[in-house]
Structure 1
Amino acid sequence: MRRVRWSHRNHPKAIAERQAVLRQLPTWQLQDERILEWSLPPEHLERFMESLTGQMMLPVAVVGPLDVEFGRYGRDESFNLTEISRNREQLYVPIAHTEGGLSVSMQRGMNVLAASGGVKTYLLDDRMTRDSAFVFTKAGDAVTCSRWVQAHCDELRRWINDPEHPAKIKKPGQNIAEVSRYAILLTIETRVVGSVCHVLYQFDTSDACGPNMITRNAYALNREIVAKMESDLDVVPIHIFLEANLGGDKKPSHEYFNGGHGRTVLAEATISREVLQHQLNMTPDALRDLEWVGIHGSIASGMQSFGFTPASAIAAMFVVTGQDLGMVGTSSMAHGTVQVVPEGVSFSLQLGGLEVGTVGGGSQLPHAQSYLRLLGCLEPGGAQKLAQIIAGAALALEISASASMASRGSENFFRAHFERGGLRS
């Protein structure tokens, strides 16, 4: 095959050239033209990626209503998360997927929740972290760096959060400023590993997911730390890495299983014995038996999370609301519980680090905007609301899927996959 210079640019000529190369491939068929047809003009899509060439269609189901009581949150003067109010809504939830049985199972869970007073959700933590590594030749210098950063944490926070910071003003020719005014530094922690000082910046990113803005601000902080530390102590690192794997970015970890990176959300609901029996054909004892087996299975396999299938709900909602799909793994770290109570069964699901936003990135795609508007997530505080809706929808799926698996011989789970798992002619 003749070697082609592959441009990453998105002007019409470059797009046409990439499409022409695909049409010349020996595997290309006439019906494949559908991937090169546009449902939206390409100029509406070009800012979301490089090398734009075609598009993909995914079906979207809408299930509901999800009866959810959620909190609205702010921060006090010490940057602590505080609940301002609670609201209750009935929402229709869009999910994009190709998993047979997922929509009907989530719908069944939502019906059960509606018959039981709905689901309550709580935001337990909300921060995005970036872990920069300062590398020295001696462990002692790493310790010195750690102590210096901790001693100057308040000073660094005031410096980067100053609304008049000169780097928050766009320079001629720049699309954005070098430092974001929307990422607010909450605190800084340090960890010393050998001759490396890890500096963990923790930011509030408002309604953005925020990895781009915290990267810009962390870069500015790194430069400030090096300059000040050299002046004060005559200590200079031999390398600086902007992210060094203690930040939790796009990688599940025990460090952030219970929160500290992303939006930590808890969803809970109590299902009465009557609803369990009539709508799920299930008993509290059968669900408790399933949890007991699942806990020991997860321990034996070294599984980090304990949940039935939260990733299915999270991925489906990530796609439809334009989230970064690379963050599904981290966002799916889950801890589900089942507790037999006098009324019936109390379910809970905690998601340690939902990385979601309602401004910036793929959330600005036209269809994502429509679905976010459907959920009421385009107003201020929309990202926190979206995180709680995702947790509520995931709990609905957990309840339904768990009941199917807990049926005698898991017959209901088998039948759901046999009858609905993929295309059935």
Structure 2
Amino acid sequence: MTDPSALADRVRDGELRLHELEAHADHETAAAARRELLEAETGADLSTVGEYAFDAEAAEPNIENMIGGAQVPMGVVGPVPVDGEAADEEHYLPLATSEGALLASVNRGCSAIREAGGATARVLKNGMTRAPVFSVADVGEAATVAAWTRENVDRLAEAAESTTSHGELTDVTPYVVGDSVFLRFVYDTKDAMGMNMATIATQEACDLVEDETPASLVALSGNLCTDKKPAAINAVEGRGRTVAADVLIPHDQVEAKLKTTADAIAEANTRKNLVGSAKAGSLGFNAHAANVVAAAFLALGQDIAQVVEGSNAITTVEAREEGLYASVTIASLEVGTVGGGTKLPTQAEALDVVGVRGGGDPSGSNADALAEVIATGALAGELSLLGALASSHLSSAHEELGR
């Protein structure tokens, strides 16, 4: 077995680069060598970073220049009953975060939902997108490319789907801006989040566009997708799963669980989440949906940066005669139960807790179920925070929990 110190010395001497260590030692030793080098050069103590439970070689598809693992505390909320099209019965939801009071708050919302008989949740739309940008000579050529695209979706689908046994092209929409043509491809990627699948498939379709039209591909992603950036198109058209969850809580349970009234929560939601968000020019009209999305993504092996799209949520609240009606609709929740970080051990175990690890039967049902459970968790978080604001308990709750 190669000595980590010897490998670190070879990097210092310029004989090896950091990314080349796995070619000269096993993955565990390479990571240890990098830690040793960093400790010597920065004075940091990386002993805790080096204490991780997963196999370093198995993590190779997920990381480069590995030095260890970042450990984030993981908790669980629930159980909460979910009446979904893919999810049913009660579910626990693992959440990983460093924000104190978050899980306590979400769990309070789960308790209120549970006492009300559970939440209803549905995936309303499903489509991972990739939008390449092409250059043309003028708007005349742009119109020609757009027209050809609309008339040849079947041919584009045949080309794109030749690269995957699971992905299905469901739509292509052209957008013209002067001498630029954007084609927004939409895919059903089943139980995979599907970004890589969509990228590879779209490259094949782009080759056909270049062969058959005057268009020249400039970039495989033209930012009209839109990935990992705030974008109105995702809030309107959706990306990944568009999912909604709602609940009706009787008045006595609102007072018992949330320590306030339906009218007070409805007013807080209108003035904060709707009017306040509109005044701010926000794309998200919610209290803190991204809190639950981020914590779930960390725990469940999702692409963390896509929390940006996950914040595209609208919370509605109405004081009805029979109780408090509340809903959360997340326009662009990008989740998967196969591939990517879902293969990492702790994340795989967390998916087992939800009951959605791996491919579903039928295909896509596990990712749908995961979206429904996360949406229900986001609803619970909205209810609890709005209740705390309406009852003026937000600061005291954080103070009580020592956060």
Kept after mapping to 2: 8 A contact 1:125/1:259: no
Q: Which position in structure 1 is the counterpart of 2:3?
A: none
The 3-state SS of whatever aligns with 1:25 is helix
Query: What is the CA distance between 1:140 and its match in structure 2?
Result: 1.6
Query: What is the CA distance between 1:258 and its match in structure 2?
Result: 3.5
1:148 paired to 2:162: no
User: What are the equivalent positions in structure 2 for 1:163-178 lying under 5 Å apart?
Assistant: 165=162
The 3-state SS of whatever aligns with 1:402 is helix
- With over 3 angstroms needed to count, the CA separation of the structure-2 counterparts of 1:10 and 1:95, relative to structure 1, is farther
Which of 196, 215, 235 does residue 212 from structure 1 map onto? 196
1:385 paired to 2:385: no
Kept after mapping to 1: 8 A contact 2:341/2:347: yes
* Farther off after superposition, 201-210 or 251-260: 251-260
- With over 3 angstroms needed to count, the CA separation of the structure-2 counterparts of 1:405 and 1:211, relative to structure 1, is same
Return the letter of the residue paired with 1:8.
Answer: H
Q: Which position in structure 2 is the counterpart of 1:272?
A: 250
Kept after mapping to 2: 8 A contact 1:10/1:52: no
User: What are the equivalent positions in structure 2 for 1:7-406 lying under 5 Å apart?
Assistant: 7-9=18-20, 11=22, 12=26, 14-29=30-45, 32-72=46-86, 88-161=88-161, 165=162, 179-229=163-213, 235-237=214-216, 239-294=217-272, 295-378=274-357, 379-380=359-360, 381-406=365-390
The count of aligned residue pairs is 381
CA distance in 1, matches of 2:187, 2:324: 37
Query: What is the CA distance between 1:3 and its match in structure 2?
Result: 8.0
Return the letter of the residue paired with 1:183.
Answer: G
- Identical amino acids, percent of aligned pairs: 31
Query: What is the CA distance between 1:259 and its match in structure 2?
Result: 3.8
Kept after mapping to 2: 8 A contact 1:254/1:304: yes
CA distance in 2, matches of 1:348, 1:109: 13
- Compute the TM-score of the two structures, normalised by the length of structure 2: 0.90
Return the letter of the residue paired with 2:335.
Answer: V
Query: What is the CA distance between 1:383 and its match in structure 2?
Result: 0.6
CA distance in 2, matches of 1:26, 1:122: 50
Kept after mapping to 1: 8 A contact 2:77/2:94: yes
- With over 3 angstroms needed to count, the CA separation of the structure-2 counterparts of 1:139 and 1:286, relative to structure 1, is same
Gaps of 5+ in 2: 1-10
CA RMSD of aligned residues (A): 1.8
Return the letter of the residue paired with 1:415.
Answer: S
Return the letter of the residue paired with 1:143.
Answer: A
The 3-state SS of whatever aligns with 2:224 is coil
Query: What is the CA distance between 1:421 and its match in structure 2?
Result: 5.0
Kept after mapping to 2: 8 A contact 1:322/1:365: yes
The 3-state SS of whatever aligns with 2:66 is coil
CA distance in 2, matches of 1:124, 1:339: 21
Query: What is the CA distance between 1:301 and its match in structure 2?
Result: 1.4
- With over 3 angstroms needed to count, the CA separation of the structure-2 counterparts of 1:256 and 1:36, relative to structure 1, is same
Kept after mapping to 1: 8 A contact 2:32/2:50: no
Query: What is the CA distance between 1:305 and its match in structure 2?
Result: 1.0
Query: What is the CA distance between 1:156 and its match in structure 2?
Result: 2.1
Deviating 4+ runs (over 4 angstroms): 1-5
Kept after mapping to 2: 8 A contact 1:92/1:375: yes
Query: What is the CA distance between 1:9 and its match in structure 2?
Result: 4.3
Kept after mapping to 2: 8 A contact 1:265/1:391: yes
* Farther off after superposition, 372-381 or 204-213: 372-381
CA distance in 1, matches of 2:54, 2:82: 34
CA distance in 2, matches of 1:10, 1:40: 19
Deviations 1:92-114, CA, capped at 9 Å, x for gaps? 21111111111111111111111
Deviations 1:394-416, CA, capped at 9 Å, x for gaps? 10111011100001xx2x10111
CA distance in 2, matches of 1:298, 1:258: 16
Query: What is the CA distance between 1:17 and its match in structure 2?
Result: 3.4
